[in-house]
Structure 1
């Protein structure tokens, strides 16, 4: 059986897990646009269960907008795909688990969705370490649905890994 992810992406996932293990912290994910692919990448690495706690997949529009305690007014004002909602999901990871760090993603993988401000390919990614500050990035990726999702996974792993550097 071939691997679901390429070698480079799996190396990124392994590095995130290694950092978490060194720090003695657990990690979790909250995913909309990627539908669990960040969690799948992390759990594709042998030994992931030592530090990967859980993954939340919030796919239906109502779950995206208010999942993990995101205030419905935030979603109404900014949209379900926005920095504000993604940051709320990242905070929700910490509030709804015993994980010490997490990464959240929202976006439009296509071929439909998007708007003038955030076209198809837009992905917001937020990472947070317990007691720290949420870090958020916005990217507009090219490619088809699968390519957008995989690029989003790469960004999520990088941001999560950055949260796992020594303070």
Structure 2
């Protein structure tokens, strides 16, 4: 039996790629807690190479700084799981990959690592476009580690879909 969330992820990926290809847009990703799942979902679709340029898997703070240009002071002040960090991750990916749309994901998938202020399931997103940057925080509570990651991928794909439809 096929997992319904995986079917939704692949359906959304296909829609994002179709819209982006139709509009001549390129996409890049910067992932932390999803561990490459977003890039994998996008590249699972035939024809993804016409849109998807690549991505960064920056699980550690050191790599967020080194590869994406996230400020060490941002990480110290706000933490890796913050809209400020997600913003810098998306901007870094956009600049380094030279893409039209860059999405970032950073969060706490669990089962440990949460705090009262940032419980397990807290995920921050950044989306950098040619003329804007938006950030969002979602709480995917009462879910397993893998479901938090799956829901984060779904949310990122929805953000990309909306951005591609606006262009």
TM-score of the superposed pair, with normalisation by structure 2: 0.92
Please give the secondary structure, in 1, of the residue aligned with 2:165: coil
Cα offset for 1:126?
Answer: 1.2
Aligned to 2:50: 50
List aligned pairs for 1:96-135, cutoff 5 A: 96-130=96-130, 132-135=131-134
List aligned pairs for 1:65-84, cutoff 5 A: 67-84=67-84
List aligned pairs for 1:85-164, cutoff 5 A: 85-130=85-130, 132-142=131-141, 143-164=143-164
Cα offset for 1:48?
Answer: 0.5
Aligned to 1:32: 32
Preserved contact between residue 61 and residue 75 of structure 2 (Cα < 8 Å): no
Please give the secondary structure, in 2, of the residue aligned with 1:6: helix
CA–CA distance in structure 1, aligned partners of residues 83 and 66 of structure 2: 14
Aligned to 1:19: 19
CA–CA distance in structure 2, aligned partners of residues 115 and 141 of structure 1: 14
CA RMSD after TM alignment: 1.6
CA–CA distance in structure 1, aligned partners of residues 25 and 122 of structure 2: 30
CA–CA distance in structure 1, aligned partners of residues 61 and 145 of structure 2: 18
- Superimposed CA distance per residue, residues 84-128 of structure 1 (whole angstroms, 9 cap, x where no aligned partner): 000000111111112111110000000111222110110001112
TM-score of the superposed pair, with normalisation by structure 1: 0.92
Please give the secondary structure, in 1, of the residue aligned with 2:120: coil
Cα offset for 1:67?
Answer: 4.2
Please give the secondary structure, in 1, of the residue aligned with 2:68: helix
Change in 2 beyond 3 A, CA 1:66/1:77: farther
Gaps of 5+ in 1: none
Aligned length: 164
Cα offset for 1:59?
Answer: 0.9
Cα offset for 1:65?
Answer: 5.5
Preserved contact between residue 110 and residue 145 of structure 2 (Cα < 8 Å): yes
Preserved contact between residue 66 and residue 72 of structure 1 (Cα < 8 Å): no
Please give the secondary structure, in 1, of the residue aligned with 2:59: coil
